Amino acid sequence: MRGRFVLSGARIKRTTSNVKHLRVFTQTVWMAYMAKRLIEEGKSTTLRDLYYMAESYGVKFKDQQESDSIIADVEALLGVSREQLRIFPEERATIYGDLTIRYNVHGYERTILNLTASPDGVAIGPALAAADFQDCGAEKVIMVESGGMFTRLIEEKAHEKFKAVLIHTAGQAPRLARHFAYRLKRELGLPVYIFTDGDPWGAHIAMVIISGSANAAHVDSLVIPDAKWIGILPTDIEDYRLPFEKFNEKDWKRLHDLMADPRYQSPFWRNQLKKFEEEGKKSEQQALSIYGLSYVTEKYLPEKLI
Amino acid sequence: MRGRFVLSGARIKRTTSNVKHLRVFTQTVWMAYMAKRLIEEGKSTTLRDLYYMAESYGVKFKDQQESDSIIADVEALLGVSREQLRIFPEERATIYGDLTIRYNVHGYERTILNLTASPDGVAIGPALAAADFQDCGAEKVIMVESGGMFTRLIEEKAHEKFKAVLIHTAGQAPRLARHFAYRLKRELGLPVYIFTDGDPWGAHIAMVIISGSANAAHVDSLVIPDAKWIGILPTDIEDYRLPFEKFNEKDWKRLHDLMADPRYQSPFWRNQLKKFEEEGKKSEQQALSIYGLSYVTEKYLPEKLI
């Protein structure tokens, strides 16, 4: 039981001497060539860009799905993530906390920035994701699902109180945010906590950070096995007497999907999902506001971050 | 023809001497009281938070829709936006460019930041939205729909080449981004350009920035009537020979909604929507990559920003 997706040992051989392989072999070579050019020229791009650019090179893809899967092949082949090949996702998470980084990108060589520079946070884009760590006053990372809660935690000085770097994931954590948290764990030894809504969707935000997603199972630097889900747990809804709503049809379907998912078979997760199933209750981060705006930093988080 | 929603002169009177009004009168007073407290304590909150907090004060709302509509009443009553009452949306846009601001929020009094500090951009949250403008080397604002294009423009130094402040809206521009662009226009006189995908959804991102949304018709500081949609226009798909896709059912439905919308009745907009209807073709910002990664800054934008 690894708790994450692991690729089986299957191999594929592609060769120009087999005419059936010619098309996909060409696509793979072209993609590797583009990655090399992007790195050399210090430019970055997106999955969508590459799909369009292929056409002007006379390389045909049926649709973007096909070009995306070739990129996954190149990742697996080289053992690096597509971000290291300068192919970036659209989504941006935001970060705030006492961490000083040094940028490396063109025009910003050796520029130093402390990530408390803006009280609204700094975007985790391609430049920040590849920056060096210079200095860190924080001792942990808290990843936060909602923007309202992220702003609340900054205002309540949670970063000082808990010596924490705060990351706003805005729902499912974008790959760059997961990779950045992975680096904070690996290079600086900071434990990672995940603070979401108390519903199957929140649980899965945590799970993807902990165990990775199925379609990035070949990328190790997106998995943080000892990251901890600190709630809102289904058991918290009772323990903290939070206002709740009843599951709707979509919530039930999502819960049953999770129960069948191999990543959710550990005792901790099975218990939590069972509690969801027994009660059919969900509760948001914002529900903590029923006890006032400071309750989350004065009561909830101190009991969770231990 | 104002091209935006304008409230009619209708008035509502609510009084404690009418028992039917008592409930909603109480709700309104409580909401105004909470806004006052938030301002005094320098805290911020969200629509969702207020809905939950009401319960702990014994003030009942049927659902969040009811509490949201009371906040809109308080906005109209006081003639200010809910952001000025420190009630903020979840969504965050990102900004990059040669603009130096001074924060006013607690802990950041007089902190100066130039918005090129991070090459990934700075989040437009509550603190930035309320900051003072200190110095500005930019001469225009370009609002950009997609994150990939925003990163591209920074890498290609569009901010220097076009002396532009870039704002990434990530789809529909959040209220804080629209308000910030409004301030750049009003306080610094910067013209605002809107660069989106070439489809009915992109058109509507532009329209909401230009003419406002129906449910914020009472908030003037969210409307930029002379902001300009610079594409991808439906006419550009032909003119620039861009790769395109055919409209699907949702696109057609959206287009017909827009054609019936009073904000789209000017000659410019009627022509553009007509072109969509005749051709049924849509094209993304990324489609410009068919001519290479620099095409957008070397050819497309120079022809549009005149």
B195 plus B162 within the same structural domain: yes
**Taking residues A183-206, what's their average pLDDT?**
97
**Taking residues A276-287, what's their average pLDDT?**
95
CA distance A56 to B286: 13
Q: Which of B78, B101, B117 is the last residue of a domain?
A: B78
Q: Is B127 near chain A, with CB under 8 Å?
A: yes
Active site residue A52: yes
Q: Which of A47, A69, A85 is the last residue of a domain?
A: A85
* Strand pairing class (B228-229; A93-96): unpaired
What is the DSSP secondary-structure string of A16-78?
TTSGGGHHHHHHHHHHHHHHHHHHHHT--B-HHHHHHHHHHTT---SSHHHHHHHHHHHHHHH
| Residue of B39, B50, B52, B100 to mutate, testing the A interface (most A Cβ within 10 Å of its Cβ) | B52
Residue A57 is predicted with a pLDDT of 85
**Taking residues A3-31, what's their average pLDDT?**
83
CA distance B181 to B161: 20
Token pair belonging to A151? 């702003």
CA distance A102 to A110: 6
**Taking residues A292-304, what's their average pLDDT?**
94
CA distance B240 to A157: 51
Tens digit of each residue's pLDDT (9 = 90 or more) over A141-155: 999 999 889 999 999
Within-domain flag for B4: no
A118 plus A188 within the same structural domain: yes
Q: Which of A38, A61, A85 is the last residue of a domain?
A: A85
Residues in B 213-242 with any Cβ partner in A closer than 8 A: none
> B92: distance to nearest CA of chain A, Å?
8
The single residue listed with the structure tokens 């009772």 is: A238
User: Residue B65: which CATH number?
Assistant: 1.10.10.10
- If 0-12 CB within 10 Å is exposed, 13-18 middle and 19+ buried, where does residue A212 land? buried
Candidates A191, A206, A190; CA nearest to A258 is A206
Q: Which residue of A has its CA nearest to B92?
A: A147
Nearest to B43 among A146, A243, A293 (CB): A293
A224 plus A97 within the same structural domain: yes
Nearest to A90 among B124, B146, B290 (CB): B146
| CB-CB under 8 Å, B91 with A147 | yes
Within-domain flag for B130: yes
**ipTM attached to this prediction:** 0.85
User: Residue A139: which CATH number?
Assistant: 3.40.1360.10
The single residue listed with the structure tokens 């805005």 is: A170
Within-domain flag for B73: yes
Within-domain flag for B85: no
Angle subtended by helix axes B47-56 and B22-41, to nearest 10: 110
> A304: distance to nearest CA of chain B, Å?
21
A76 plus A201 within the same structural domain: no
**Confidence label for A119 from pLDDT (cuts 50, 70 and 90):** very high
B39 plus B119 within the same structural domain: no
Q: What is the mean pLDDT of each successive set of 10 residues along chain B, which is 306 residues long?
A: 68 83 91 91 86 85 92 90 88 94 91 95 92 97 94 94 96 93 97 97 96 79 93 95 95 97 94 97 92 93 94
A186 plus A273 within the same structural domain: yes
Residue B172 is predicted with a pLDDT of 92
Residues in B 180-199 with any Cβ partner in A closer than 8 A: none
Residue A2 is predicted with a pLDDT of 58
Q: Is A57 near chain B, with CB under 8 Å?
A: no
Catalytic residues of B, which ones?
Answer: 52
Catalytic residue among A52, A108, A291, A300: A52
Residues in A 71-110 with any Cβ partner in B closer than 8 A: 88-92, 94, 103, 105-108
> B296: distance to nearest CA of chain A, Å?
12
Could you tell me if A97 and A116 are in contact, meaning their C-beta atoms sit under 8 angstroms apart?
Answer: yes
Mean pLDDT of chain A: 92
B140 plus B58 within the same structural domain: no
Residue A301 is predicted with a pLDDT of 97
Residue A52 is predicted with a pLDDT of 85
Q: Is B293 near chain A, with CB under 8 Å?
A: yes
Number of folded domains in chain A? 2
- For B31, how many CA atoms within 13 A lie in the half-sphere containing its CB? 30
B117 plus B221 within the same structural domain: yes
Q: Which residue of A has its CA nearest to B63?
A: A245
| CB-CB under 8 Å, B123 with A121 | yes
| CB-CB under 8 Å, B289 with A49 | yes
A98 plus A78 within the same structural domain: no
Partners of B51 on chain A (C-beta within 8 Å) are: 286
| Residue of B56, B104, B118 to mutate, testing the A interface (most A Cβ within 10 Å of its Cβ) | B118
A108 plus A167 within the same structural domain: yes
Partners of A291 on chain B (C-beta within 8 Å) are: 56
Partners of B293 on chain A (C-beta within 8 Å) are: 43, 45, 49, 53
Residue B28 is predicted with a pLDDT of 94
Within-domain flag for A278: yes
**Confidence label for A214 from pLDDT (cuts 50, 70 and 90):** confident
Residues in A 270-289 with any Cβ partner in B closer than 8 A: 284, 286-287, 289
Domain that holds residue A158: 93-304
B45 plus B143 within the same structural domain: no
Token pair belonging to B260? 């019936």
Within-domain flag for B12: no
Could you tell me if A138 and A97 are in contact, meaning their C-beta atoms sit under 8 angstroms apart?
Answer: yes
- If 0-12 CB within 10 Å is exposed, 13-18 middle and 19+ buried, where does residue B196 land? buried
CA distance B247 to B275: 12
A207 plus A280 within the same structural domain: yes
In this model, does residue A1 exceed pLDDT 60?
no
Which runs of E-coded beta strand occur in B131-242? 132-136, 140-144, 164-168, 192-195, 228-229
Within-domain flag for A268: yes
For residue B109, the SS3 value is coil
> A34: distance to nearest CA of chain B, Å?
11
Residue B114 is predicted with a pLDDT of 96
Within-domain flag for B8: no
